[in-house]
Structures are given as C-alpha cells and as structure tokens.
C-alpha cells in the first residue's frame, strides 16, 4: 500500500506495517471507536436539540457552544467512520482510493480546526463578558456572528490547502497547522482564562458597583466561564498528543517507535482527540441545570413516559416549542430570553437560573 504523507496527515494514516496487531486487539479498538461515535452523536445531538426547543437556552454564549457542538457532531458523523474505514482497509490490505483518503484527511482537518478555533472564540467572548460586561451587553449581534463564522472560515482555508500541499511542502504545512490551530489558540485561551481569574478575584465588588451588574448574573458569568475553562483544559489534554506526534512524524520520524508501535500510538492519539468531542457536551450540561432539565424532558419523550415535572420552558396547556423572539439576543451578557410579563401570570413553572 502507498504511504500517504502529510503534515498533520502523518497522524491520519499509517504506513503499511509488516507486523500487524492481532484480530482481537483490532476488534477491541474498533468497538471503542464505534462506542465513541454513539456517544458523540448522542451528546451533541442533545445539545443541538435542546437549543432548538428551549428558548431560554438561546443565549449568546450558548450559541457559541452550539457552534462547537456542530463541529463535534461532524466528528461522529464523518471523521470517525472514515477513520475506521481507513485503518480496517489497511489491516485487510484492501485498497482505498486516493480520492477517498483525501476526502477523509481534508474533512478531518476542517472539522478539527473548527472545533479548536470555536473554543478560542468562546474564551474570548467569556473574557470580554467578565472584564467589560457593560460593553459586552451593548455589542451588536453581528460581532458575535463574526466570531462564530471566522473559525469556520479559517478551518475551511486550512483544509483546502491540504490537497494542494500534499507531498509538496509538508513541513511548512505542518508548522502552519500546529502554530495557528493549536499553539496560538492555546495561548489565547490560557491568557483569557487567567485574565478572568485575576479580574474576578481582584475587583468583583467594585466592578459590580460601577456597572450595576446584579451579583447573581455576575456569579453566573463566572460559573459559566469555569465550565468553559474545564472544556478547554480537556481540549488541551486531548489534542496535545496528536500535534506532538504530528511534529515528530514530520521532522523527526526516526524518534517514533516501530511500525506496529507507531500504528498503536496513532490509534491512541486519534482516539484522544476524537474523545474530546464526546466529553464537551456532558461537561457543559453537567453545570447547566436548565440544560439538564431539557435533556430529561427529551429523554422522557423518547421513552414515551408520562411524567409531570417543572421546567422553565414547559407549561401547562402550552406547546413546548415556542416561537423564536429575536429580542432575546439583546438582554445582556448572558442574554437569557424572558417571557412577556403577562405570560408569567398565565403559566406555572419553576424558574431555574441558567449557568
């Protein structure tokens, strides 16, 4: 089989190995990847469905989270199935077309880069919401739309360069990918959350007084920032091995283990970075009570169970799906949509503070 070389793509395929892993090991790895696909699609599917159905979840920050979930769910729908096909084809020595391989590697770079850069945008938005809350609340929505669109655009540019550079300027492409899609985002994310931490500890009282931000809302901002910081830490743990192996494979391939060892290492680092797409929605939902209530509602609906419990978007005698009110976006940093005052009187539900 042909040895496909490519910057970060060096970690997306393996050389034809003389010594193969045994069938039991391969079956175990395949089952793990299949379980990962189910987890990714389920978790991120719940996030997207909850956002679509529960109007109270339609906040600015949640919109960034939804964009992240969209890139994560593409991992389960596209990247992992293609990757499973690639390594199974290598094991059985069944040829796969170069077009099919290029589709996988290009889409994998696009989806992975989008996920990383979305986390960067989230950290910037959180930092601005904490440090400049008044300014954040007055920003037009086109600013936030741009912050969501730019990561997708840049990811598309980087992915489109993959077929162009293939086997031509691999070293330059690997350096560009590693720098702009990992180290620079890592530095931005780290600085953003250090700034949030220092600011929250040094001037919370004066800030609340000066900007007249309700203490509860400010605490919610801090709590949500902690949540996203946890997601970011997991992102670093998940993605670091992939980029380290990518750099080694491009610049110092002799430092990699034997062919079979490299094959196992490759499957491990790919599983690590793919698993980040499965973890994100659960980490986020764990700290968001309203999201959890939405998950419960969807679960009971899917299981066809009748159960009465109070959630902020479910009211007696009304439809669960509410029409979208664009004014929701202009209610401040967290921008939680509030029902008109008259509807508060008509409907009985328990208000649950969002994170």
Coil, strand, or helix at residue 314?
Answer: strand
**pLDDT tens-place string over residues 61-71:** 889 989 999 99
Match 């299949």 to its residue by tokens.
Answer: 34
Short-list 106, 107, 110, 104, CA closest to 152: 110
Beta bridge partners of 314: 311
pLDDT, one tens digit for every residue, the chain (355 residues) = 333 444 344 444 444 445 677 888 999 999 999 999 999 999 999 899 988 888 888 888 889 989 999 999 999 999 999 999 998 988 887 877 888 888 999 999 999 999 999 989 988 998 898 888 888 888 899 999 999 999 999 999 999 998 887 667 888 888 999 999 999 998 998 888 888 877 776 765 555 445 555 666 666 667 666 766 777 788 788 888 998 888 888 888 888 887 788 888 999 999 999 999 998 888 766 667 788 888 888 888 777 655 544 444 543 332 333 333 333 333 334 444 444 444 443 333 222 222 2
Cα 307 to Cα 299: distance, rounded to the nearest angstrom: 11
pLDDT in the model for residue 158: 93
Q: Which residues contact 223 (CB under 8 A, 6 or more apart)?
A: 287, 355
**68 vs 75, 256, 302, CA distance in Å?**
11, 32, 25
- Domains and their CATH numbers in the chain: 23-304 (1.20.1070.10)
Q: What is the DSSP letter of 330?
A: G
pLDDT in the model for residue 195: 85
Cα 74 to Cα 78: distance, rounded to the nearest angstrom: 6
Cα 221 to Cα 213: distance, rounded to the nearest angstrom: 11
The structure's pTM equals 0.74
Match 């954040």 to its residue by tokens.
Answer: 136
Containing 229, the helix (H) or strand (E) segment is: helix 215-251
């Amino acid at each position: 089989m042909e040895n496909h070389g490519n910057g970060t793509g060096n970690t997306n395929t393996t050389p034809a190995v003389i010594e193969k892993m045994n069938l039991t090991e391969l079956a175990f790895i395949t089952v793990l990847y299949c379980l990962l696909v189910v987890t990714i699609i389920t978790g991120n599917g719940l996030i997207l469905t909850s956002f679509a159905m529960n109007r109270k979840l339609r906040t600015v920050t949640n919109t960034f989270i939804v964009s992240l979930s969209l890139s994560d769910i593409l991992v389960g729908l596209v990247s992992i199935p293609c990757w499973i096909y690639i390594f199974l084809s290598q094991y059985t020595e069944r040829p796969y077309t170069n077009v099919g391989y290029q589709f996988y590697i290009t889409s994998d770079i696009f989806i992975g880069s989008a996920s990383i850069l979305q986390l960067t945008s989230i950290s910037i938005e959180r930092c601005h919401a904490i440090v400049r809350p008044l300014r954040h609340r007055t920003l037009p929505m086109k600013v936030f739309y741009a912050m969501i669109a730019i990561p997708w655009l840049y990811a598309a540019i980087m992915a489109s360069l993959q077929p162009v550079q293939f086997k031509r300027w691999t070293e330059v492409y690997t350096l560009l990918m590693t720098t702009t899609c990992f180290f620079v985002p890592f530095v931005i994310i780290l600085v953003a959350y250090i700034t949030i931490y220092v600011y929250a500890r040094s001037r919370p009282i004066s800030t609340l007084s000066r900007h007249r931000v309700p203490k509860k809302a400010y605490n919610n901002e801090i709590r949500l920032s902690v949540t996203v910081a946890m997601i970011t830490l997991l992102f670093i743990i998940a993605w670091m091995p992939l980029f380290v192996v990518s750099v080694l494979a491009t610049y110092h391939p002799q430092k990699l283990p034997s062919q079979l060892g490299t094959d196992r290492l490759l499957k491990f680092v790919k599983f690590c970075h793919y698993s980040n797409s499965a973890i994100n929605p659960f980490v986020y939902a764990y700290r968001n009570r309203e999201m959890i209530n939405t998950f419960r509602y969807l679960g009971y609906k899917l299981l066809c169970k009748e159960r009465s419990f109070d959630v902020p978007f479910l009211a007696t005698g009304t439809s669960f799906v509410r029409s979208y009110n664009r004014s929701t976006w202009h209610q401040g940093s967290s921008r939680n949509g509030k029902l008109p005052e008259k509807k508060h009187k008509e409907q009985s539900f328990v208000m649950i503070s969002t994170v």
